[in-house]
Structure 1
Amino acid sequence: MQAKLCVAVILVAALGGCVTPAEQRAADEGRCRSYGFRQGTDPFANCLMAVDLDRSASQRARLESSFYGPGFYGPGWYPYRRW
């Protein structure tokens, strides 16, 4: 019984940080509206695109830093990890 409870708690904690695409879109739209852009205009669409590109770049940087680690590319190193 305790194992099931432990698994349930871990599952709830893991899924608690998940954001659905609809929630992410609403947050992005709110962010662009807070900058003063009106929905349905080209600048608003550009703002949404810039926010999405920024998020993608952040995710890519976070992935690269976690995989290779800081300072991986030093003298004599190859661009792949030696296992």
Structure 2
Amino acid sequence: MPTFISMMRILFSVIALGTIAGCDLAERDTSACESYGFSPGTEAFGNCLMERDQTRKQSMADALRSSGDNFNSTPARTCSTYVSAHGSTVQTRCY
């Protein structure tokens, strides 16, 4: 079972790599959302970027949980709420 120190090293590595790769990730997310047909500056484009970010964060959280992290016995949940430009549509997704 990983110790607290080893878990902190893993977490630091993930944060450091995320910081270094942040610009590349933003460019890839932008390119991906444009390739899906979303236009920059639109609500749909913003939702696409947000969903890609949430998916990435959830993947990192899942990886940390599966590495033997017993610090928290209750699995963390991430929820995202999307509201249309006119406020008529609200959608919440929890992972």
Higher relative contact order (CA 8 A, sep 6+): 2
Kindly, what percent of the aligned residue pairs are identical? 36
Give 3-state SS (helix, strand or coil) of 2:67's partner. helix
The structure with the greater share of residues assigned to helix is: 1
Name the counterpart of 2:48.
47
User: Aligned partner of 1:34: which letter?
Assistant: S
Superposition TM-score, scaled by structure 1 size = 0.57
Task: List runs of 5+ in structure 1 lacking aligned partners.
Answer: 1-17, 73-78
Number of residue pairs matched? Answer: 54
Query: Once superposed, what is the RMSD of the aligned Cα atoms?
Result: 2.1
User: SS at the partner of 1:67?
Assistant: coil
Aligned counterparts of 1:65 and 1:46: Cα–Cα separation in 2 = 28
Instruction: List structure 1 runs of 4+ shifted beyond 6 angstroms.
Output: none
Q: Partners of 2:35 and 2:64 in 1: how far apart?
A: 29
| Greater gyration radius | 1
Richer in strand (by share): 2
Deviation at 1:20, TM superposition (A): 2.4
- The one-letter amino acid paired with 2:30 is E
